[in-house]
C-alpha cells in the first residue's frame, strides 16, 4: 500500500521540478538571449527575405512567432516548452518513478544546457528540442503499439513533422530520421519482414517528403539566388582544401593552378599560415587570400575539393580530424563560444528590430554561473557522448519498446555528433548541443526506473 503513494509522490515532485525549471529559465532569459545569427534570422523571418545562408525554415519559425508577438519572447517560450514538455513526457513512459529520477530532475534544471541554453535564440537549440520531442513521442507510440490495434496516425504525423523540421533547421540533423524509422521497423517486426520494411522505409520517406514540402512552403521569394550560390558548401570546400594543404606541404592544387597559378601560390603559401582546426574564420583575416579564393570559379573550387578527397585522402583526413577534435573535445573552451547572454550584434540590425543591445545584471549572473563550470564535465561533449553510449547499451539490454526508442535518441545524437567529422567549420560549443541534451534526457529516463533487474543488480530476498 505504501509503494503506490511513494511512486506517485516521486512522479509528482519530478514534474513540479521540471515545470519550475521551465519557469525559472523564462524568468532569467526572456525576451531571449541573442547573437548576430539570432538577430539576422529574426529579421529575415520578419521581412520574408533571405539575407544570409542560415536555414530559411528557422527564419520562418522566428517570423511566425514574431508576427504573433514582436520579438523572440514567444518563440523562446514555445521552444523551451517543447524541451521541458518532452522531459516531463519521459516520466509517463515508465510505470513508476524512483527518487533517483527526482534527484536527476533537480540536476537537469540546474544544468546550463537547460537553464541557459534554452533561453538562447539559436537554431542549434531548436533542432535539439525538435529531435528530442520527436523521439519521446515515438517512444510513446511504440510503447502502445499493438499488431491489431488502431494506428496512431496523429502521433505518427507529429513525429514526421518534428523530424522534418529538425532536418530543415539543421541539415545534418537528417541523421535522426533513419534512426527513428529503424525504431519503427523494429516495433512491427512481429508482423513479418515486409511489414517491418514497409513501415521503416515509409517512415523515412514520409520525413523526407514532409521536409521538402515544408521547405517549399517557407521558402522566401529570393531564395533561389541565395541557394544557387550555396556559400555554406563553398566555405566548407575552401576550408578543406586549405586544411589538406596545411597538413601536406607537398600537395599541389592542380585544378586551381590550371586557371590561376598565382591563386594556387597564394593559397599554398599564405592561406595555410592562417589555417587552424579551431575555426575557418582565421583564413579570412588575410584579404589577399580571400580575393584569391572567391575569385576562383565555384566549379573549379568544387573540382579541387573532390581531387583532394579522392587523391590526397591522408592530409584531408588529418585536417578533418583536427577540426572534429576542436568541436568535439573543445581543448580550449574559452575559444569556442560556450554560451550567449544578453543581446550582441550590429547596432543598426538590432535597432531595426527594436531590440536593445547589451547585458543586464541577470545576464552577468548567468555568465558567472556558467564560467564556474567551463572546465568541468558539465561542458564536455565527450562526457555526454559516453553517457549517451552507456545509456543506449543499458536500454538495449532491457529492450522494452520505449527503451528502444530512447536508445534510438542516443544513437541519433551520437550520429549527429559524428557527422561533424565531415562538416565542422568551427568549435562553437552549441553545434553539438543536441548530444548534450539527448544524453541528459537519456540519463533522466534511466534514473526514473533504473533497470536493475535487467542488469542483474537487483537485490534478491
pTM of the entire predicted model: 0.93
Last residue of a domain, one of 271, 297, 329: 329
Same domain for 145 and 237, yes or no, is no
Question: Do 127 and 11 share a structural domain?
Answer: yes
In this prediction, residues 16-44 reach a mean pLDDT of 96
Q: What pLDDT is stored for residue 378 in this prediction?
A: 96
CB 391 within 8 A of CB 410: yes
C-alpha cell at 197: 520494411
Q: Which three cell numbers stand for residue 320?
A: 578533418
pLDDT in tens, 33-46: 999 999 999 999 99
Residue 89: inside a domain: yes
Q: What is the pLDDT of residue 460?
A: 47
Q: Does 117 lie in the same domain as 77? A: yes
Task: Give me the pLDDT at residue 224, please.
Answer: 63
Residue 162 lies in a domain: no
Q: Tell whether 56 is covered by a domain.
A: yes
Residue 251's domain comprises 230-329
**pLDDT, position 457:** 57
Q: Which three cell numbers stand for residue 8?
A: 506517485
Whether residues 6 and 140 share a domain: the answer is yes
User: pLDDT tens-digit profile of 182-210?
Assistant: 999 999 998 889 999 999 999 999 999 99
Classify residue 271 by burial, with Cβ atoms within 10 Å: 0-12, 13-18, 19+.
Answer: buried
Same structural domain for residues 12 and 125? yes
Same domain for 372 and 285, yes or no, is: no
Whether residue 357 is contained in a domain is answered as yes
Tens digits of per-residue pLDDT, 252-275?
A: 999 999 999 999 899 998 888 999
7 and 129 share one domain:
yes
Question: Which letter, b or e, does each residue of 116-137 get, where b requires 16 or more Cβ atoms within 10 Å of its Cβ?
Answer: bbbbbbbbbbbbbbbbbbbbbb
Q: Is residue 8 part of a domain?
A: yes
Express the helix, strand and coil content of the chain in percent, nearest 5 each: 75, 0, 25
Do 443 and 376 lie in one domain? The reply is yes
Give the pLDDT mean for 15-43.
96
Q: Are 139 and 93 in contact (CB under 8 A)?
A: yes
Q: Report the percentage of the chain scoring pLDDT > 90.
A: 80
- Domains of the chain: total: 2
Q: What tens digit of pLDDT does each residue of 83-132 get?
A: 999 999 999 999 999 999 999 999 999 999 999 999 999 999 999 999 99
> How far is the C-alpha of 132 from the C-alpha of 163, rounded, in Å?
9
Same domain, yes or no: 69 and 141: yes
Instruction: Please indicate, yes or no, whether residues 43 and 104 belong to a single structural domain of this protein.
Output: yes
Range of lowest pLDDT (276-285, 338-347, 384-393): 276-285
In this structure, are 254 and 379 located in the same domain?
A: no
Do 17 and 146 fall within a single domain? yes
Q: What's the alpha-carbon Rg for the chain, to the nearest Å?
A: 24
CA pair distance 197, 185, nearest whole angstrom? 6
For residue 345, being part of any structural domain is answered with: no
pLDDT, position 322: 96
Kindly report the average pLDDT of the chain as a whole number.
92
pLDDT the model gives residue 454: 57
**HSE toward the beta carbon, residue 334, CA cutoff 13 A:** 3
In a domain, 454, yes or no: no
Burial class of residue 332, CB neighbours in 10 A (0-12, 13-18, 19+): exposed
Cell 536500454 sits on residue: 395
In a domain, 155, yes or no: no
The three grid cell numbers given for residue 383, joined into one nine-digit string: 562526457
Amino acid at each position: 500500500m505504501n509503494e503506490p503513494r511513494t511512486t506517485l509522490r516521486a512522479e509528482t515532485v519530478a514534474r513540479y521540478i521540471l515545470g519550475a525549471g521551465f519557469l525559472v529559465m523564462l524568468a532569467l532569459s526572456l525576451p531571449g538571449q541573442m547573437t548576430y545569427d539570432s538577430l539576422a534570422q529574426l529579421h529575415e523571418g520578419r521581412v520574408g527575405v533571405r539575407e544570409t545562408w542560415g536555414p530559411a525554415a528557422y527564419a520562418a519559425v522566428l517570423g511566425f512567432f514574431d508576427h504573433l508577438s514582436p520579438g523572440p519572447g514567444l518563440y523562446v517560450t514555445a521552444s523551451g516548452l517543447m524541451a521541458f514538455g518532452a522531459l516531463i513526457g519521459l516520466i509517463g513512459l515508465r510505470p513508476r518513478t524512483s527518487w533517483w529520477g527526482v534527484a536527476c530532475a533537480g540536476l537537469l534544471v540546474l544544468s546550463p544546457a537547460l537553464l541557459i541554453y534554452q533561453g538562447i535564440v539559436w537554431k542549434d537549440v531548436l533542432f535539439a528540442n525538435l529531435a528530442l520531442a520527436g523521439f519521446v513521442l515515438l517512444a510513446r507510440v511504440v510503447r502502445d503499439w499493438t499488431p491489431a490495434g488502431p494506428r496512431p496516425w496523429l502521433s505518427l504525423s507529429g513525429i514526421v513533422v518534428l523530424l522534418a523540421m529538425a532536418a530543415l533547421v539543421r541539415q545534418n540533423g537528417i541523421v535522426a530520421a533513419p534512426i527513428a524509422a529503424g525504431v519503427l521497423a523494429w516495433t512491427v517486426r512481429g508482423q513479418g519482414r515486409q511489414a517491418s520494411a514497409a513501415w521503416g522505409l515509409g517512415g523515412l520517406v514520409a520525413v523526407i517528403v514532409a521536409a521538402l514540402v515544408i521547405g517549399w512552403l517557407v521558402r522566401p521569394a529570393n531564395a533561389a539566388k541565395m541557394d544557387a550560390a550555396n556559400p555554406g558548401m563553398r566555405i566548407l570546400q575552401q576550408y578543406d582544401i586549405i586544411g589538406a594543404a596545411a597538413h601536406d606541404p607537398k600537395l599541389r592544387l592542380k585544378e586551381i593552378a590550371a586557371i590561376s597559378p598565382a591563386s594556387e601560390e597564394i593559397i599554398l603559401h599564405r592561406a595555410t599560415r592562417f589555417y587552424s582546426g579551431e575555426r575557418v574564420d582565421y583564413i579570412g583575416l588575410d584579404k589577399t587570400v580571400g580575393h584569391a579564393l572567391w575569385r576562383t570559379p565555384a566549379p573549379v573550387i568544387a573540382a579541387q575539393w573532390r581531387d583532394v578527397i579522392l587523391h590526397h585522402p591522408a592530409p584531408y583526413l588529418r585536417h578533418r580530424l583536427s577540426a572534429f577534435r576542436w568541436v568535439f573535445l573543445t581543448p580550449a573552451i574559452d575559444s569556442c563560444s560556450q554560451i550567449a547572454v544578453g543581446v550582441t550584434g550590429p547596432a543598426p540590425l538590432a535597432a531595426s528590430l527594436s531590440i536593445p543591445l547589451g547585458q543586464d545584471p541577470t545576464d552577468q549572473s548567468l555568465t558567472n554561473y556558467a564560467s564556474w563550470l567551463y572546465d568541468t564535465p558539465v561542458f564536455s561533449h565527450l562526457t555526454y557522448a559516453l553517457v549517451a553510449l552507456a545509456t543506449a547499451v543499458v536500454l538495449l539490454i532491457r529492450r522494452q519498446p520505449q527503451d528502444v526508442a530512447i536508445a534510438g535518441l542516443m544513437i541519433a545524437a551520437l550520429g549527429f555528433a559524428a557527422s561533424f567529422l565531415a562538416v565542422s567549420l568551427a568549435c562553437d560549443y552549441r553545434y553539438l548541443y543536441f548530444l548534450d541534451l539527448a544524453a541528459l534526457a537519456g540519463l533522466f529516463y534511466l534514473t526514473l526506473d533504473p533497470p536493475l533487474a535487467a542488469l542483474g543488480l537487483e537485490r534478491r530476498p
